[in-house]
Chain A
């Protein structure tokens, strides 16, 4: 039938591609399931995406979306109490977890194929039949409160700093408060609030299922059908988040006894994943501050050449918990993003210098743009580096869900990313830099144990010479002279005690 062996294999491969494409594309019926089959995978990955997030927290009940999510992932169902759930999941070595972000909530889980039936029953009970009992509510609300009052305020100044930056930039919008809520908001939440929130938002029209790995074909319909057991209801209206642009450079110093300095700064940006300019800006941002990577300019400027801290990075998309992950997270899709720079913890005496160095670098990048060598190296880097973004099926499912959120059709963001790296020009990158980034209006947040000294230095724009105590190359010292008197021209400095952060 086939003239050559090669022809046979070409046909086989084409058939396999067709099967794959037919699985990942929306089917001709009304199926809305997102599917990523992996033939030799002995596990099955599940995601149920609910279009609800902390932006839907009622005023005065901040933290309600997160607490509702917690009760679904770590509470009883009408079928099993939570102890029984733990008992049943234990020999399967599986679990499920809920991740709540500003605009989306995902319930994620993974099972070995040998345990599929048992696991599937437990997973579906979690979102279809949550029990919402008093005991689970008290336990999880208390945990969430402790996270806000103790862990977020005290255990990592870097995460605290980024969260404060987000809160200030998004003041007056539904993004303002941390996903975990505010202390006062959480304290006022009742179990009835959780039940009402679930009934209002965990409805058929807000939910999508996503399935990946080596799942059997019967599972697709059965999984999707579970959504029919959710109530119908009023589907969420398209939300709008319009942050107010800062006027000038405004600084918020968070006063925390004995703290070294942790710094973040940023501003809202209007470009979004999927748009061509977004990928152009990604290239420039990667050159400036690729996350946890020694290739970035900010990393080399402050750490590599001066040894001031552990690293310095920049972002054009939300990147929560950056201290504990290397690759971009999934399911933190947001319609409104911000550009931000993260300067890791350094001595208070070097804070003003490091801030000057980073701002000066940003200004230079916007004004001069990238050169051809920098552009080509960064583009080549990203052409392969993106392969690490989604190494697991669970991560690929996450990207597929985000593609739907952003309305990216075809093969999705990662495929488009690869395609863009092959087609975007240096001119486009430099145009995008000028179009979306700026340096006049920004919010700067610093966690510090030296508020008075730092406030005065910033208000007066005092010089910030650095003493290394070790010999340094001449070119570094010459650049230091330019940095240490670089005018930051801060418009305002506000001081907030750490105990007041996230209170309301």
Chain B
């Protein structure tokens, strides 16, 4: 049952866990990948996979809360994701819904800081009809103002259901504190005050679509039992006329952090204290040994086989869980260390233990055997996650969106294979610097 509880907690966290594929030199990735960039810049990635009998159809817009740089526009990329289901002239919302319903598609979408993904799981015989309606809404979206205003209510409803979750509350606060300028300072959900004003932004929504939903800012990823040649021909036919016009956002740069920040986050309900420590990191760079070593470091220092997990979770039983991850972001993001503390009196003690572990990783190289075990874990984790077309797509989506190219999978693998214990030491010294961190403590109304 504890695992179940932890799983719920992990789901509640609003960041993505990085898993790095360790692929052997003879190519352990079991499926053939074919790519093409259309003349208008649309990047197409096709993965042939026969098991399961379903096709995963993913349209990935490289737009997210990162692009919300204008005043009072937080949460707009996510709101706009909702509007993408509100139809076109050729396929109004009810017709679009009737089509996806009649073919038994499983459809959904999600928005994060760097991307918005629209995904369908479908039967192979429905590929062309899906390509027709998906290419249409990405090129010809059109909805009345009343529909736009109504959907704003649904977004507010989504915020309402989330705001009782203590992890949502602390994530919103810690990101706001960690970034003074950059748009990573707000979550994809946006601030409540901005969500309330959304019904007034009908005209803005049209310009948002025109600026961001362009072929050169989009990746089409299709996984499943497909014939790559025929599929590519269909894609050229349906997406080839899509006009370019992407306008990159003017995202402010975050000034270097020079002193530790600390905040206490109040929570209306009852909750055990949550400690969330965020260090400033670099932008995703699969070629950079330090960046990649830092991802491994997070797992070695705070994963389920780490010394601190054994000491604080199992022996002393002062925390429920602990985990750390370096986020995969287009711009410099954060390294998040998160734990929930069983005894409210032990908050400072737990922070001091985290500091002790960090000091150790900054003072000596980890054991080579430990690093090998981690590489083994990452390899099997990656392979075992590739069991359905949807899961294959899910494992690739963030790398594709952040880097803009599928080549990243191989590059990341090559770099990860070369990581040495000395690289891990260097990464700890480079990134885990107290002047560059924000420490948040959530306290419930107990």
- Are A and B interaction partners? yes
In the complex, the 6 A-B pairs of residues with the closest C-beta atoms, listed nearest first: A384-B104, A307-B153, A154-B269, A309-B157, A93-B380, A307-B150
Does A91 lie within 8 Å of B377, measured CB to CB?
A: yes
Is A397 interfacial (CB 8 A cutoff)? no
A158-B98 contact in complex given A42-B383, A470-B199, C-beta closer than 8 Å? no
- Give the residues from 147 to 188 in chain B that come closer than 8 angstroms, CB to CB, to chain A: 149-154, 157-158, 160-161, 164-166
Contact of B149 with A143 in the complex, beta carbons under 8 Å: no
Partner of B104, one of A258, A324, A380: A380
Q: Which residues of B contact A (CB under 8 A)?
A: 1-5, 8, 11-12, 30, 51-54, 85, 97-98, 100-106, 108, 121, 123, 146, 149-154, 157-158, 160-161, 164-166, 199, 268-272, 303-305, 309-310, 313-315, 317, 320, 342, 372-374, 376-381, 383-384, 387-388, 390, 444
Q: Which residues of A contact B152 (CB under 8 A)?
A: 307
Docked Cα-Cα span, A321 to B8, in Å, equals: 9
Q: Is the CB of A93 within 8 A of B1?
A: no
Minimal beta-carbon separation of A270 from chain B (angstroms): 29
Say yes or no: A41-B51 contact (C-beta < 8 A), given A66-B1, A156-B165, A470-B199.
Answer: yes
Chain A 233-266, CB-CB to B under 8 Å as 1, else 0, gives: 0000000000000000000000011111010000
- The answer to whether B2 touches A310, judged by C-beta atoms less than 8 angstroms apart, is no
Known: A93-B378, A143-B5. A295 touches B97 (CB 8 A): yes
Q: Which residue of A lies closest to B146 (CB)?
A: A471
How many residue-residue contacts, CB under 8 A, span A and B? 219
Q: Output the least CB separation between B56 and chain A (Å).
A: 10
Task: Give A257 to B444 CA distance when docked, in angstroms.
Answer: 13
Q: Chain B nearest CB: distance from A238 CB in Å?
A: 26
Q: Which of A13-21, A82-90, A485-493 contacts B (4 or more CB under 8 A)?
A: A82-90
Q: How far is the CA of A69 from the CA of B1 in the complex (A)?
A: 7
Q: Which residues of B contact A41 (CB under 8 A)?
A: 51, 387
Interchain CA distance A92-B269 in the complex, whole Å: 39
CB<8 Å pairs between A and B, sample of 20: A41-B387, A86-B304, A98-B1, A139-B2, A147-B1, A150-B269, A153-B269, A180-B1, A292-B108, A303-B154, A307-B150, A307-B151, A307-B157, A308-B157, A346-B157, A377-B98, A380-B102, A387-B123, A391-B121, A392-B387
Per the 8 Å Cβ criterion, residues 308-366 of A in contact with B are: 308-311, 321, 323-324, 326-327, 344-347
What is the CB-to-nearest-CB distance from B341 to chain A, in angstroms, rounded to a whole number? Answer: 11
Contact yes or no, B380 A94, CB < 8 A: yes
> Across the interface, do B102 and A150 meet the contact criterion of CB distance under 8 Å?
no
Given contacts A93-B384, A308-B153, are A100 and B146 in contact (CB under 8 A)?
no
Q: Residues of A within 8 Å of B, CB-based: how many?
A: 96
In the complex, the answer to whether B151 meets A345 with C-beta atoms within 8 Å is no
Given A43-B387, A307-B149, A472-B146, 17 new contacts (CB under 8 A):
A41-B51, A66-B1, A93-B380, A98-B3, A114-B380, A139-B2, A143-B320, A156-B164, A157-B164, A307-B151, A307-B157, A308-B153, A326-B108, A381-B102, A387-B123, A391-B54, A469-B199
Contact A470 to B150, CB < 8 A, known contacts A90-B377, A143-B320? yes
- Select A139's contact among B102, B104, B166, B314, beta carbons within 8 Å: B314
B164 and A97 contacting across the interface, CB-CB below 8 Å: no
Q: Are A345 and B161 in contact (CB under 8 A)?
A: yes
Which B-chain residue is minimally distant from A303 (CB atoms)? Answer: B154
| Residues B164 and A259 in contact, CB atoms below 8 Å apart | yes
The answer on a CB contact under 8 Å between A310 and B320 is no
Provide the residues of chain A in CB contact with B376, threshold 8 Å: 91-93
Residue numbers in B under 8 Å from A259 (CB-CB):
164
Chain A hits for B4, CB < 8 A: 97, 99
Docked pose: A407 CA to B105 CA in angstroms:
30
- Judge whether A155 is part of the interface by a CB distance below 8 angstroms: yes
Quick check: A294 and B106 within 8 Å, CB to CB?
no
Asked if B51 and A150 sit within 8 Å, CB to CB, the answer is no
CB <8 Å contact, A151 and B8: yes
Q: Are B387 and A150 in contact (CB under 8 A)?
A: no
CA distance A98 to B4 in the complex (A): 9
A82, B5: Cβ atoms under 8 Å? no
CB-CB under 8 A from A204, the residues of chain B are none
- Docked Cα-Cα span, A57 to B170, in Å, equals 36
Contact of A393 among B153, B387, B444 (CB under 8 A): B387
0 or 1 for each of A15-48: is its CB under 8 Å from B? (1 = yes): 0000000000000000000000010111100000
Contact check, A388 vs B106: say whether CB atoms are below 8 A apart.
yes
A22 to B383, CA, bound (A): 29
Give complex CA distance A82, B388 in Å: 31
A380 proximity list for chain B (CB < 8 A): 101-102, 104
Say whether A70 faces chain B, with CB atoms less than 8 Å apart. yes
Asked if A182 lies at the interface with its beta carbon under 8 angstroms from chain B, I say no
**B305 and A87 within 8 A (CB):** yes
Chain B residue with the shortest CB-CB distance to A308: B153
Decide: B157 and A303 in contact? CB cutoff 8 A. Answer: yes
Q: Is A146 an interface residue (CB 8 A)?
A: yes
Is B1 a contact partner of A306 (Cβ separation < 8 A)?
Answer: no
Separation of A91 and B29 alpha carbons in the complex (Å):
19
Query: A385–B104 contact, CB under 8 A?
Result: yes
